[in-house]
Structure 1
Amino acid sequence: MPTFDGIQLFGFGPGTLTLSGAEMKWVSRDQSEMIKKPMKDVVGAQWTLYGRRGLLRLLWSDDTVDRLEGFSADDRTELEAILQKAEGDDGAVDIENVKPNVEGTNFGDVAFEGKRLLFERDRALVFEKDLGSMTQCVIPGNRAGHNEVEMQFLESDAVATADDTLVEIRFVMPEADEDMPETPAEELQKLAIDAAGIRNTGGAAICSFEGCSLLVPRGSYSMHLYETFVRMTGAKYDYRIKYGDINRLYMLEKPDGYRMVVVISLARGIRQGQQRYQNLVLETNKDEEEVTVNLTEEECAERYNNALLPSTVGPLCNLIAMAFRHIAGKKIFVAGSYRSARDLQCLQCAHKTNTGLLFVLDRSFVFIHKPTLIVRFNELQSVELQKGDAKMGLRTFDMTLTLKAAPGADRERVISFSQLEKDEYRPLLLFLQKQKVRIKNLHQEGAHDDLGDDDEEDEAERRRRMMADGLDDDESEDEDFNPDEKNSDEDSESSDGEDDDDFEDEEDLPKRRKKAKAKAPAARRKRGDDGDDDEDAAKNKKRKRKDPHAPKKAMSAFMFFSNAKREEIKKANPEFSITDISKEAGRLWREMTDDEKKPYQAQADADKERYAKAMESYEPPEASDDDGEEEETGGKKKRAKAKKDPDAPKKNLTAFFHFQAAKREQVKADNPEMKIADIGREMGRLWGAMTDAEKAPFQAKAEEDKARYKREMEEYDGGGGGAAAA
């Protein structure tokens, strides 16, 4: 049987080809791949010679083409003899010579043969492309009459990493005439889609969701779930995603409690132009909707054990999750036990320059949505929480995730999140500690080294449940979505065993020290430390009050100019504030020449002489020790207190004070453990609980005392005591 070594089958590396009249067999050099086809299905063959190397194309009855490259020029005769013996339906297969165009031109004609796209110039082949791997064919741009067609192709896993592979090609078509029903670009797009069969789904979808809003990639798509794949159709792009290419799905609740996002993590991302999307983000809500499944009740019972019904009504987010869970066979992961300081499942923060939401799940972080990031805890090397400087007015902190180095990578990958609110620091720290996530700078946070007995009990209980389920820390998953069960984590209360009051930020310490220093002098005065009081009093400054009869100070030239121009500026700019008017006057003054300033300078000189003459005849009033001065203490100004006359009548007491005088000893005897402040509060409570009738005796005493004070003050003022005190 003829054998050809070093033959490369398109999409694979070099291997060995065995060809006979009955069978074609190709095996890769490492024996990992083998392709076998019966020769009776061959419908044509083409031969192209590039220099000294030959290319054989075998055309099969199912419209597929195998390109075999690496033959010598002399192999053509032997290949033709073998194909003459092929047992095809049409008898012997002749080899057609195809002339290549090697001029390097990029202008020519496009033709289709089955699933093959041929680009030719002067009836010579420039290149060909199998459309079986085409995933998209779109007309990019939003304007009508666009004359470009973009084709995208699947990136084959069989191609070696170092090899180049075609993933996108664009054709620029001639401009359309006005009388054409469709443009040349639209015609080429239609022919390519029909040839590739990318919209041929082979049957009806099991269920569909119309008009789904995708945040990544942005746009409105209809989602159709089939037996083995989900199809997403938009205005331009049409994607077919196999369920096997879906790694994980998450359903997360946004802070408003109404909108939900479904994150679809893909093993092989989708492309739009040069942009690749590894994670899709679908936004939905909790509105009641109805979904119809294109199956009978018997089929639902047989294939899905009645988990799906021909018609189901419920929140839209639950219906989408239910469809993916049962049709695609994928779990939907939801938020677990974490709750933020605002009782939310997520934190608002920023990644680089983009703000978004960071969802903290039991075993992973999910950030949406620019870019969408998914980091599982078992991928983490460490987490570092970095507080902002309180002295700079920062009320946020940053979190840096260091991921374990991937095989073959030189260093670890680092992901940073910033602008997290300070209130979220403690809940996040405690949660990560409970999940056994390594905190890089934990030794700097002495207040959090010990989580308390309750946290240890929670962790022990969690590990006990995991051992009972046959899991360990690395194998445990996030919470799985189940619309029929209530999430126990949502209803359970936190058992951290510590209050927020016990947590003290480092940035709060300077404030507390400042308060302690402020209280120290008062404490010393309370202890009777007279030496400190005298020292503090010596530091107080006394400043004389301004004499209202003193001459008015001289004005500058600018002030005369400002007074003269103020109304003019205000009239020209009615929207100006007082500050704006002053700024405008300053600008005009700076732009004036010295000659223009002379009139105002003359006014200032005259006013200066006036002030000097007035000050020559001015005599300031004599200073008094007790009045007319202000005392400055600790940066605050206050009037000096007048001396109290010891012979003045004693002020009258209110009804409450008469009640206190009568009941204080009784309350003190009944509550010997009470301090003075506690006794005062107890007296206030008793007074508030009394009726008007019970308060009447004390009100009468207060009226008598008020009359006494009035009478004594009249006698005091009449005898000259008040004047003497003044």
Structure 2
Amino acid sequence: MEAFQEIYLNLSKKHGVARFAESGWGWKPSGGGDTFTLDQAQIMQTQWSRAARGYELKMLTRTDGVIQLDGFQQEDFERISKLFKIWYGINVEHREHSLRGWNWGKAEFGKAELSFMVANRPAFEIPYTEVSNTNLAGKNEVAVDFSVPADGDDTGTNGHLGGARARGKKSSGARDQLVEMRFYVPGTASRKEKKEDGEDVTDNDDVEEQNAAQLFYETMVDKAEIGEVAGDTYASFQDILHLTPRGRFDIDFYEKSFRLRGKTYDYKIQYDAVKKFMVLPKPDDIHTLITVGLDPPLRQGQTRYPFLVMQFKRDEETNIDLNMTEEQLAQYDGKLQPRYEAPISVVISDIFRGLTNKRITKPSKDFLSHHEQSGVKCSIKANEGHLFCLDKAFMFVPKPATYISMDNIASVTMSRVGGAMTASRTFDIAFTMKGGLAEHQFSNINREEQQPLENFFRLKGIKTKNEMADESSAILAAALQDDDLASSDDGGANRGSADEDDESVDEDFQAESESDVAEEYDEDHKSSGSDDSDAEMEDADDDAAPDEEPEPELVERPKKKVKTSK
């Protein structure tokens, strides 16, 4: 037996002891823990190269993909090479990496990993087991997402869930980790057809030219087995409308995850990533919204979606038999039924609840809008949607889906924003958050919803400030102080259009031009108004500048008429 100290398995945080024997090898952490073993028949290929912790031995296995052991010294190469040759009959390949630092090169898809080659040397490798998702971020751009550990304590070597036997656990070895990488793939590429025995055909007629980025994406999906889940599909639903992210997706439910399949994007989401699950009846009495909170969020290019928002018609029913045995159903303690025949929103929510073991959150029974609905129509900036009042939070859907926990709310301010006509019919509410968090503002709420919302805020013990009452008092006080409504002889009082005519002169107006409108204001014409209005006009003439000779009413009145008709 050969033993090596302070060796790290798959970028683990703690080192251990690696022991090699004729039957295989094993690794045990120094601080105690589960031992990882591998039979010698599983080893297909080995490589020796420089690594961050010294030198690394990389093994390509039949069932566990790529296994990495690093922490070796340079002088250990002779021992490693000799024992692999004698015991396992495998030559250890000495491989050097490219250190040029170039960000352009050639991507080569191997059996277990993607190698980025620069000057015929690998700059880096990506094991397929570490790829959680990939999508086309642009016409010539492919985004590759990497697996994220469940928590910070996950070392990648914890029992049967860790080590090389667990997909997506190597990236948990360090505090900082890479979560996404993007490849720009220009031009076109050839897809070679393969014969039944796996060899490439040589006939040029069978070579298909297509976009290189598309071919890269399809190859990565195939190699990383994205969308393929161990086990059978428990249930499938076709063409489900999603408001966030926008589009129609097929939903496949598996034992540990569910899959969203669209025309462009394909996602595999673990049930552990589902943090919230809400069923919200839309106030139109036609649709029901199912909102799923995800952490980490779903990503499409640069956009993150922390919530999935699905929309269903309430009267649309479905019947489905779950593809599960009686033993499998028994594991869920009666939370799943073998057959469902109900509205599709009810069926999907029940299946989600059973598989994820999450409680379904519904709108609070303590709130009913003016129209006896669970939500009120409002807007976040230019985005229209509905705000739902839950027992412990507020939820705005569909875009941007916003969740506001009541525990984080410091106060709520109700105010009127906009012009006189708009302000009289709608109002705004703003949530001020604790701890300096960003404020959430919802606008264009119907005035009829003010009292139900205010009652709900007070019922939940949320500090509420109503600025609309203060604004109404201020407007009334300003109106009472207006000089137009007071009986004052002050010569500086505002006299409406008469003052406007004295202060601004319409240069385009021709006093001597003939106009049919002017006849109405002839000196002998009797006005239908009272004598007070004539007195007002005389006062306006008195306010004219000293060096100007007051013009008769025949000239002054048509000026306003012509000006307003322009």
With structure 2 as the length reference, what TM-score do the two structures score?
0.70
Counterpart for residue 81 of structure 2:
80
Deviations 1:464-495 (A, max 9, x none): xxxxxxxxxxxxxxxxxxxxxxxxxxxxxxxx
Secondary structure of the structure 1 residue equivalent to 2:309: strand
Per the TM alignment, residue 304 of structure 1 is displaced from its structure 2 partner at its CA by 6.1
Preserved contact between residue 274 and residue 356 of structure 2 (Cα < 8 Å): no
Deviations 1:496-545 (A, max 9, x none): xxxxxxxx93444467789999xxxxxxxxxxxxxxxxx99x99xxxxxx
Counterpart for residue 373 of structure 1:
402
Counterpart for residue 505 of structure 1:
469
Deviations 1:29-53 (A, max 9, x none): xx59766223533333211136994
Secondary structure of the structure 1 residue equivalent to 2:226: coil
Q: What is the 5 A alignment of 1:376-415?
A: 376-378=405-407, 380-388=408-416, 394-395=423-424, 396-405=426-435, 411-415=436-440
* In structure 2, C-alpha distance between the alignment counterparts of 1:56 and 1:355, rounded to whole Å: 57
Q: What amino acid maps onto 1:126 in structure 2? A: A
Q: 1:24 aligns with which of 14, 23, 26?
A: 26
Q: What amino acid maps onto 2:25 in structure 1? A: E
Change (3 A) 1:250 1:227: same
Preserved contact between residue 215 and residue 281 of structure 1 (Cα < 8 Å): yes
- Whether 1:336 and 2:364 are equivalent positions in the alignment is yes
Per the TM alignment, residue 10 of structure 1 is displaced from its structure 2 partner at its CA by 4.3
Counterpart for residue 181 of structure 1:
208
Counterpart for residue 45 of structure 1:
46
* In structure 2, C-alpha distance between the alignment counterparts of 1:187 and 1:139, rounded to whole Å: 11
Q: What is the 5 A alignment of 1:302-701?
A: 302=330, 311-337=339-365, 338-378=367-407, 380-388=408-416, 394-395=423-424, 396-405=426-435, 411-437=436-462, 439=463, 505-509=469-473, 558-559=509-510, 563=514, 630-632=530-532
Change (3 A) 1:67 1:133: same
Counterpart for residue 135 of structure 2:
138
Per the TM alignment, residue 162 of structure 1 is displaced from its structure 2 partner at its CA by 5.0
Q: What amino acid maps onto 2:68 in structure 1? A: R
* In structure 2, C-alpha distance between the alignment counterparts of 1:557 and 1:419, rounded to whole Å: 42
Q: Which has the higher strand share?
A: 2
Q: What amino acid maps onto 2:182 in structure 1? A: I
Per the TM alignment, residue 200 of structure 1 is displaced from its structure 2 partner at its CA by 2.2
Per the TM alignment, residue 392 of structure 1 is displaced from its structure 2 partner at its CA by 5.7
Counterpart for residue 201 of structure 1:
229
Counterpart for residue 5 of structure 2:
4
Deviations 1:433-456 (A, max 9, x none): 21233x0x55x79xxxxxxxxxxx
Per the TM alignment, residue 197 of structure 1 is displaced from its structure 2 partner at its CA by 1.5
Deviations 1:154-201 (A, max 9, x none): 234553775241522315154257975352444433332222112322
Preserved contact between residue 390 and residue 507 of structure 1 (Cα < 8 Å): no
* In structure 2, C-alpha distance between the alignment counterparts of 1:295 and 1:58, rounded to whole Å: 38
Q: 1:129 aligns with which of 104, 126, 131?
A: 126
Change (3 A) 1:80 1:557: closer
Per the TM alignment, residue 111 of structure 1 is displaced from its structure 2 partner at its CA by 2.9
Preserved contact between residue 16 and residue 26 of structure 1 (Cα < 8 Å): yes
- Whether 1:113 and 2:106 are equivalent positions in the alignment is no
Q: What is the 5 A alignment of 1:123-272?
A: 123-141=120-138, 146-156=139-149, 157=151, 158=154, 159=172, 163-176=176-189, 180-183=207-210, 184-272=212-300
Deviations 1:401-445 (A, max 9, x none): 34444xxxxx444333334344323222221221233x0x55x79
Counterpart for residue 58 of structure 1:
59
* In structure 2, C-alpha distance between the alignment counterparts of 1:557 and 1:404, rounded to whole Å: 60
Secondary structure of the structure 1 residue equivalent to 2:188: coil
Secondary structure of the structure 2 residue equivalent to 1:344: coil
Secondary structure of the structure 2 residue equivalent to 1:20: strand
Change (3 A) 1:78 1:511: same
Per the TM alignment, residue 125 of structure 1 is displaced from its structure 2 partner at its CA by 2.0
Per the TM alignment, residue 400 of structure 1 is displaced from its structure 2 partner at its CA by 3.1
* In structure 1, C-alpha distance between the alignment counterparts of 2:20 and 2:78, rounded to whole Å: 14
* In structure 2, C-alpha distance between the alignment counterparts of 1:169 and 1:83, rounded to whole Å: 37
Q: What amino acid maps onto 2:294 in structure 1? A: L
Per the TM alignment, residue 286 of structure 1 is displaced from its structure 2 partner at its CA by 0.9
Unaligned runs of 5+ residues in structure 2 are: 155-171, 191-203, 491-506, 538-566
Secondary structure of the structure 2 residue equivalent to 1:170: strand
Preserved contact between residue 322 and residue 339 of structure 2 (Cα < 8 Å): no
Secondary structure of the structure 1 residue equivalent to 2:410: strand
Q: What amino acid maps onto 1:37 in structure 2? A: T
Change (3 A) 1:62 1:427: same
* In structure 1, C-alpha distance between the alignment counterparts of 2:53 and 2:110, rounded to whole Å: 27
Preserved contact between residue 229 and residue 240 of structure 1 (Cα < 8 Å): yes
Preserved contact between residue 383 and residue 399 of structure 1 (Cα < 8 Å): no
Per the TM alignment, residue 373 of structure 1 is displaced from its structure 2 partner at its CA by 1.4
Preserved contact between residue 143 and residue 180 of structure 2 (Cα < 8 Å): no
Unaligned runs of 5+ residues in structure 1 are: 406-410, 446-503, 518-534, 540-555, 567-577, 583-614, 622-627, 638-726
Preserved contact between residue 413 and residue 431 of structure 2 (Cα < 8 Å): no
* In structure 1, C-alpha distance between the alignment counterparts of 2:317 and 2:380, rounded to whole Å: 35
Preserved contact between residue 300 and residue 308 of structure 1 (Cα < 8 Å): no
Deviations 1:581-611 (A, max 9, x none): x9xxxxxxxxxxxxxxxxxxxxxxxxxxxxx
Q: Give the CA RMSD over aligned residues.
A: 4.4
Of all paired residues, the percent bearing the same amino acid is 23
* In structure 2, C-alpha distance between the alignment counterparts of 1:301 and 1:166, rounded to whole Å: 35
* In structure 1, C-alpha distance between the alignment counterparts of 2:32 and 2:420, rounded to whole Å: 63
Secondary structure of the structure 1 residue equivalent to 2:311: strand
Per the TM alignment, residue 296 of structure 1 is displaced from its structure 2 partner at its CA by 7.2
* In structure 2, C-alpha distance between the alignment counterparts of 1:51 and 1:323, rounded to whole Å: 46
Q: What amino acid maps onto 2:145 in structure 1? A: Q
Secondary structure of the structure 2 residue equivalent to 1:365: strand
Q: 1:288 aligns with which of 316, 339, 342?
A: 316
Per the TM alignment, residue 242 of structure 1 is displaced from its structure 2 partner at its CA by 1.8
* In structure 2, C-alpha distance between the alignment counterparts of 1:229 and 1:71, rounded to whole Å: 38
Q: What amino acid maps onto 2:45 in structure 1? A: G
* In structure 2, C-alpha distance between the alignment counterparts of 1:382 and 1:32, rounded to whole Å: 47
Preserved contact between residue 189 and residue 215 of structure 2 (Cα < 8 Å): no
Per the TM alignment, residue 97 of structure 1 is displaced from its structure 2 partner at its CA by 1.0
Per the TM alignment, residue 369 of structure 1 is displaced from its structure 2 partner at its CA by 2.5
Secondary structure of the structure 2 residue equivalent to 1:257: coil
Q: Which has the higher helix share?
A: 1
Secondary structure of the structure 1 residue equivalent to 2:255: coil
Change (3 A) 1:130 1:509: same
Preserved contact between residue 141 and residue 182 of structure 2 (Cα < 8 Å): no
Change (3 A) 1:82 1:397: farther
Counterpart for residue 605 of structure 1:
none
Figure out how many residues of one structure are paired with residues of the other and give that number: 473
* In structure 2, C-alpha distance between the alignment counterparts of 1:161 and 1:561, rounded to whole Å: 90
Per the TM alignment, residue 320 of structure 1 is displaced from its structure 2 partner at its CA by 1.7
Per the TM alignment, residue 232 of structure 1 is displaced from its structure 2 partner at its CA by 0.9
* In structure 2, C-alpha distance between the alignment counterparts of 1:108 and 1:239, rounded to whole Å: 28
* In structure 1, C-alpha distance between the alignment counterparts of 2:174 and 2:75, rounded to whole Å: 32
Which has the bigger relative contact order, CA under 8 A and spacing at least 6?
Answer: 2
Q: What amino acid maps onto 1:181 in structure 2? A: E
Deviates more, 1:214-223 or 1:236-245: 236-245
Counterpart for residue 691 of structure 1:
none
Secondary structure of the structure 1 residue equivalent to 2:15: strand
Per the TM alignment, residue 251 of structure 1 is displaced from its structure 2 partner at its CA by 1.0
* In structure 1, C-alpha distance between the alignment counterparts of 2:536 and 2:33, rounded to whole Å: 89
Secondary structure of the structure 2 residue equivalent to 1:205: coil
Deviates more, 1:342-351 or 1:506-515: 506-515
